[in-house]
Amino acid sequence: MGEKPTGRMLVLAGLLVTSLFIGMASADEGGVALEAVPQTSSDRSWYSPDQPLVLVPTLANSGPDITLTVNPSCLLYINVYNATGVQVVDGAEACPVREQGLDVFAGERIEYEPVTWSMRDNAGAWLDSGEYTVELMHSSGASTASVVTVQTPVALPDGVVYSVETSQRTVAGPVLHMVNLHNPSA
């Protein structure tokens, strides 16, 4: 009858403290951003198999400490969209489904190994030359995108013969390339 409510108060205080930690672990990811810069600057305005697009990614947290849910087997992957916005490469397709927590402290920057875009689709075939949006995705959901132009190899049909002649009047002058094609089957 004259019992003191200390036991009940301790349980309530414990639940209150626990709920605070749960709120911190599932906080909004608003301060987390994925940044990516090209590893080398190309002297050309396009990328090709001999000079591919290589991105150096960094996950930056400008907000409070946060715990992100990530896929440890596939932290970063690339999605590619053509000029009309159709997805032509789904990088997540090759990622096994796994989950793990990643603690990112306030002001922390996590640098990752460079990521190279192969300019191929999911089946391994070359994409057509042209303009693409390359989206680098972090498995936490953060992403960054760049619009790039690529020049990819073209397979010539059997029997087609070609030659390339180069002409330049002066060492510093413009270069003229003349391409001759001969298709004996046409």
Query: Is residue 3 included in any domain, yes or no?
Result: no
The reported pLDDT for the residue numbered 4 is 63
Query: Is residue 161 included in any domain, yes or no?
Result: no
Give all strands of the β-sheet with 87-90 in edge-to-edge order. Answer: 87-90, 76-81, 130-138, 143-150
Query: Is residue 120 included in any domain, yes or no?
Result: yes
Query: Is residue 182 included in any domain, yes or no?
Result: no
The reported pLDDT for the residue numbered 171 is 86
Domain holding 150: CATH number? 2.60.40.2360
What value does the mean pLDDT take over residues 82-107? 93
Which pair of structure tokens corresponds to residue 156?
């010539």
User: Which residue did the predictor score with more confidence, 17 or 134?
Assistant: 134
For residue 76, the enclosing domain spans 22-154
Q: pLDDT tens across 2-50, in order?
A: 556 666 665 555 555 444 444 333 334 568 999 999 887 667 788 999 8
Structurally, the chain folds into a number of domains equal to 1
Query: Is residue 30 included in any domain, yes or no?
Result: yes
Query: Is residue 86 included in any domain, yes or no?
Result: yes
Query: Is residue 173 included in any domain, yes or no?
Result: no
User: Which residue did the predictor score with more confidence, 55 or 40?
Assistant: 55
The reported pLDDT for the residue numbered 140 is 93
Q: Which of 6-10, 83-87, 131-135 has the lowest mean pLDDT?
A: 6-10
The reported pLDDT for the residue numbered 157 is 79
Query: Is residue 175 included in any domain, yes or no?
Result: no
Show the DSSP H helices in the chain as ranges.
Answer: 6-25
